[in-house]
Amino acid sequence: MTIPNLQLDTLRAAYRAGTHSPRQLILQLREKAAALNPEYHLFIHLLSEAELEPYLAALENRRLDDLPLYGIPFALKDNIDLAGIPTTAACPAFAFTPQRSATIVEQLIGLGAIPLGKTNLDQFATGLNGTRSPYGACINSVLKDYPSGGSSAGSPLAVALGVASFALGTDTAGSGRVPAALNNLVGLKATKGLISTAGVLPACRTLDCVTTFTATCSEASQLLALTGGLDPRDEYSRANPLWNDASAFGSVRPFHFGVPTQLEFFGCAEGPALFADAVARLQALGGQPVPFDLAPFLEVARLLYEGPWVAERYSVVGELIETQPAAVLPVIRDVLAKAPGVTGVQTFRAQYRLQVLKAQCDQILAGLDCMLTPTIGRPVTLAELTEEPVLRNSELGYYTNFMNLLDYAAVAVPTGFMANGLPWGVTLFGRAFTDQYLLSVASALHGGEQAPSTAARNDKARLVVCGAHLDGLALNWQLKRRGARLLETTQSSADYRLYALAGGPPLRPGMLRVAEGGVAIEVEVWELPSSELGSFLTGIPAPLGLGKVQLADGRWESGFICEPYGLDGAEDISHLGGWRAWLASR
């Protein structure tokens, strides 16, 4: 039986049509994975038929429509617990067998997904290349002279080589993004704490994220919607705001995106043109590029390994290094060598510096919808990694190391191929809890997927104003004080009447939608943080409120509306076309 395309929707359709069953497919995939493993070293532990049986048997009395991930095969990085299967972190001397699975794994299994095996990684998730493992180096799925990328090296291979629909990795410094770029996949590094890390062996407990590798952005969106949220088992977990739920994934509207003024490609001749092409494609989607200074982001990146956070890694593996140094790979010991000498004073000074830099970076991002960088400056070969393992690994993390220290969300997305056929891609990143919006932009950039009918949403709310809140008028300060910015001056659809309400000061308008006799009214569209919308709404006096207003181009946005009872004694000023014109006529 031919193995079908393993993308979520395609595989669901195959199950629904009856052309495949989970049992048949999973056993086929296990056989295929076993055949690939000697060459690619993608699995540390491939589940046996006996170990798979409980998961297969659990589906036999369940219906496809009852389980969103019914029969979906997935793989997980071997620093993520699967009950009854050893967790090694690519260090046999450290291995232990957990009695309970990680929360994310429990969630996926509960939704019907089937774990195929534990994947290879850079030991203790310390590395970005995938060669730092006693279980063998993970080679690239496209070109065998290159690495898969790490530390989550085996997980993207499971997806790229067609043995899993999706795979779990972790990301502290870029491990969910670098291997995605090198294997032509989407790598979602969601907001810290959004996907639980309970049952995940820490690299840096305060920074770690569970990541997903998928073929498409819509699959990453679906998985995030199914698994993201507060977990009582994880003290670092965070609730997902409603503006970042599944409905936030949609079609992109005009947006502003940051582009670094200084770029480093480490001598790669093709990188500049590939990146310029990605910028041009975003512009074609309605994006407005805005140059920004990458320097503070890069300084944050240097803190990760040059600062005290290396001691956080040592807190996990230090005892093993001290008692059994030979059990830890020399390159890992070298990376962590300075950790015991890190002092409390150094730690606090680094935290203070990080806070200064985060304020600078947040200010740069404040007026933008997202930022764009290459995912890696240039790919490195296996030979180059052998010759200079630390330097080449550092180059791979040039655009990724700062992300978790700054508490940003990020998605790596393929955008092309190099002349030798190796995949190439970019990373879109933004404020915490803008994951679904970033996936929306990435999906449009990636192409090949039908755009959702709804508009993508981020952490900003759009608001249509028609009177005293217009730019420069009496109540506009209420918007600006909440961090709002003016997006556009436009008109409503020709379905409204505008009135000057009785009373004041301040003078207030009432805009009423009517069945006939309506005109277009001058309005402004503002954008403010969603977290500020509630306080703004509660301050609006009757008879005004917020509802949905139709604009001239047919869009519906939240905006000021008026209850009909408030029109007693009001003056109809519709013929003037807007509030400013009425003020000027008085």
- Measuring CA to CA, which residue among 138, 178, 185, 186 is closest to residue 160? 185
Alpha-helical regions (H) of 42-102: 49-59
61 phi, psi to nearest 5 deg: -110, 20
Q: Which of 175, 196, 493, 574 does the annotation list as catalytic?
A: 175
Read out DSSP for 312-366?
A: HHHHHHHHHHHH-GGGS-HHHHHHHTTGGG--HHHHHHHHHHHHHHHHHHHHHHH
Tokens of 284: 């074609």
Sheet holding 423-431, edge to edge: 43-46, 114-119, 73-77, 166-171, 209-214, 186-189, 408-417, 423-431, 370-374, 255-260, 287-292
Active site residue 175: yes
Distance CA 375, CA 494 (A): 46
Distance CA 290, CA 367 (A): 10
- Look-up: residue for tokens 């900003």? 460
Distance CA 123, CA 69 (A): 30
- Burial, 61: exposed, middle or buried (Cβ in 10 Å; 0-12, 13-18, 19+)? exposed
Tokens of 50: 């006996």
- Look-up: residue for tokens 């006096």? 541
Active site residue 101: no
Tokens of 206: 């305060």
Q: Which of 141, 148, 151, 493 does the annotation list as catalytic?
A: 151
Active site residue 141: no
Read out DSSP for 155-214?
A: HHHHHHTTS-SEEEEEESSSTTTHHHHHTT-EEEEPPTTTS--TTB--SSTTT-EEEEEE
- Measuring CA to CA, which residue among 238, 159, 153 is closest to residue 198? 238
Ramachandran area for residue 326 (φ above 0: left; ψ -120 to 50: alpha; else beta): alpha
The catalytic residue positions are: 77, 151, 175
